[in-house]
Amino acid sequence: MPTDDRSTDTPAAQPADAGTPADTPSADPTPSADTVTPEHRPPAGASAAMTWAPDGHDPLTVTATAGWTVLRREESPAAEVFAVAYTLDGADPGERPVTFVFNGGPGASSAFLHVGAIGPRRIVVPEDGSLPAMPVRLTDNDASWLPWTDLVFVDPVGTGFSRPVPAKDGEENGKDTKAGDPGYYSFASDLAALREFTSRWLSANGRWASPVWLAGESYGGYRIGRLARSLPVDEGVGLSGVVLISPAMELAPLTMTDYSVEGFVDVVPTMAAAALHHGRIRGVDDAAGVEEVMAAATSFAATDYVTFLAQGAAMAPERRAAVLSRLADLTGLDPALVERLHGRIPIDRFVRELLRDDQQVIGLYDATQTVVDPFPDREPFGGAEHTLHGMTAAFTMGANQVIRGEIGVTTERQYHLLSMAVNKAWRADEDAHALESPGGATDDLRYGLAVNPHLQVLVVHGRHDLVTALHTSQRLVNQMRLDPTAAGRVRLRAYDGGHMFYTLGHSRSAFTADVAELYGVTSPG
């Protein structure tokens, strides 16, 4: 795995005076604490006082600070990482935790968690979690974690306002520019950048005495599993706990082929939950709830169905027919279709087929959400995935309202909510064998739990997320071979909704209550 080749003798960059023109170097040539090298300064940041006072909560006064930290490679500035920090005024930094928050993708900014779930302000969405009317509005977030922790929302390189620093005079500055990658678009280099940012932020803000927590969503959950091991080892940052939100801890289940097993097994319970929600499930008690249905589907998937997938043509015809019939009933699909697919149902096919007779497509990221199929005669669905990309405008507008409008950052840069350029440029690490798959995060999380007997872990999912399915994490936790002490420090929770379950008010509230319990808070308000 590539080592972190940054220089360690330079303090972290701090936001410059808010009056400095955006995206231009400071006119003051004198090196100071906020410079990385005399010839390079990041754009000007901004800071603002903010009062968080949702109904039913005691008001809190926090300072919101937004700005760029410069990362270095081989003594040269290589990237400017943008982050927004909310710190409670007057709090004891030795007692007050600080939580670093990021999303996944790869290529996603932190805006989903920033203005959707955890930050002091969130976008207003309908009660059913569907797309709000534009322009999106903001409100004080009654489910924010601010009552018990400071928050730092981090945009990895290439996302949000974070950018690589262009090389000068043709020099590479220690960066690999192959395939559009400035040296940060791979598994190990991405983790190295997040570690560097974390330690620089702690140093620059005098927070090495604070309890440190991590929270990440989707591929951000993968990042957190890996950081649970490498952040203490490589940066000396001890962790109090981690929150993995709709995580992709292992990458293999995300790929479904005619020869794979795990991915197909893991999504059956979620498909059953979707079929129940839309009234298409068969062969279950009419009074059965979603948890009962998912438990039955999990039992089927982990026994008869996994045996069917593993045996293939070796399974006896009568038993094969019984398995396919049960699979069709649980998923709500036409038995003839399940037969044609040989019992392997890709999730993108499932979302087109479940409600095809109503000309509706359900969501990959939230199977409770539907959209009219504009091209029912075509394959595949003729547009962006509506439960993720359909929310792009809402989260982008919300992030810009907070960062530019409320905190006061002035920049001509576009806020990249989801960068497909970063996603497409992502690659395996150079020192890996040609046939070696990227390492998963579960082993690193196991290691972190073993060497840190105080580490607390919370893994959370939406029941209707087909992309990072609940059963995947249930299976992985059961396969981690944890001793009773470590197992007691791992919590797994599920809520109504999908990948971004926190768009549902009751799920967001339940999530926040579980996080407060994890942090040891008895009165979240």
Strand partners, 121: 140
For residues 243 and 462, the answer to whether their CB atoms sit within 8 Å is: no
Instruction: Quote the pLDDT of residue 380.
Output: 64
State whether the Cα torsion 232-64-96-499 is positive or negative. negative
- Average pLDDT for the chain: 87
Instruction: Quote the pLDDT of residue 25.
Output: 34
Which has the higher per-residue pLDDT, 376 or 503?
503
Q: Token pair for residue 364?
A: 């990959």
Q: How confident is the model at residue 443 (pLDDT cuts 50, 70, 90)?
A: very high
Of 15-19, 157-161, 203-207, 341-345, the least confident: 15-19
Average pLDDT of the segment spanning 485-495:
96
Instruction: Quote the pLDDT of residue 130.
Output: 85
Distance CA 392, CA 410 (A): 22
Per-residue exposure over 101-127, b if at least 16 CB sit within 10 Å of its own CB, e if not: bbbbbbbbbbbbbbbbbbbbbbbebee
Of 130-139, 175-184, 438-447, the least confident: 175-184
The proportion of the chain whose per-residue pLDDT surpasses 70, expressed as a percent, equals 86
Contacts of 516-520 spanning 24+ positions with Cβ under 8 A: 516/145, 516/147, 516/148, 518/241, 518/243, 518/456, 518/458, 518/491, 519/97, 519/145, 519/148, 519/149, 519/213, 519/241
pLDDT for 153-170, tens place per residue?
A: 999 999 999 999 876 654
Instruction: Quote the pLDDT of residue 386.
Output: 76
* Pairing of β 60-73 and β 76-88: antiparallel
pLDDT at 11 over 70: no
Phi, psi of 135 (to 5 degrees): -75, 145
Which has the higher per-residue pLDDT, 104 or 430?
104
Distance CA 344, CA 61 (A): 53
Instruction: Quote the pLDDT of residue 8.
Output: 33
- In this structure, which amino acid lies at residue 157? V
Nearest by Cα to 247 from 445, 88, 449, 48: 445
The full set of domains in the chain, from first to last, is: 46-251+393-429+443-518 (3.40.50.1820), 257-385 (no CATH)
Average pLDDT of the segment spanning 268-287:
96
Average pLDDT of the segment spanning 19-28:
33
Instruction: Quote the pLDDT of residue 178.
Output: 45
Instruction: Quote the pLDDT of residue 27.
Output: 33
Percentage helix, strand, coil, to 5, in the chain? 35, 15, 45
Q: How confident is the model at residue 180 (pLDDT cuts 50, 70, 90)?
A: low
- In this structure, which amino acid lies at residue 18? A
Distance CA 182, CA 163 (A): 9
pLDDT at 175 over 70: no
Contacts of 319-327 spanning 24+ positions with Cβ under 8 A: 326/283, 326/300, 327/268, 327/300
- Residue 115 DSSP one-character state: I
Q: How confident is the model at residue 434 (pLDDT cuts 50, 70, 90)?
A: low
Distance CA 269, CA 298 (A): 5
Q: What's the full length of the chain, in residues?
A: 525
Average pLDDT of the segment spanning 333-340:
97
Of 174-178, 215-219, 450-454, the least confident: 174-178
pLDDT for 341-397, tens place per residue?
A: 999 999 999 999 999 999 999 999 999 999 998 888 777 665 667 788 788 999 999
Q: How confident is the model at residue 182 (pLDDT cuts 50, 70, 90)?
A: low
Average pLDDT of the segment spanning 198-219:
96
Which has the higher per-residue pLDDT, 99 or 252?
99
Average pLDDT of the segment spanning 212-217:
98
Average pLDDT of the segment spanning 206-219:
97
Instruction: Quote the pLDDT of residue 514.
Output: 97
Q: Is 212 left (phi over 0), alpha (psi -120 to 50) or beta?
A: beta
Average pLDDT of the segment spanning 34-38:
46
Distance CA 65, CA 259 (A): 50
DSSP letter for each residue of 126-168: -TT--PPPSSP-EEE-TT-STTT-EEEEEE-TTSBT-EEPPPS
Instruction: Quote the pLDDT of residue 388.
Output: 81
Average pLDDT of the segment spanning 188-211:
95
Instruction: Quote the pLDDT of residue 376.
Output: 80
Instruction: Quote the pLDDT of residue 121.
Output: 97
Distance CA 232, CA 214 (A): 12
Distance CA 348, CA 362 (A): 10
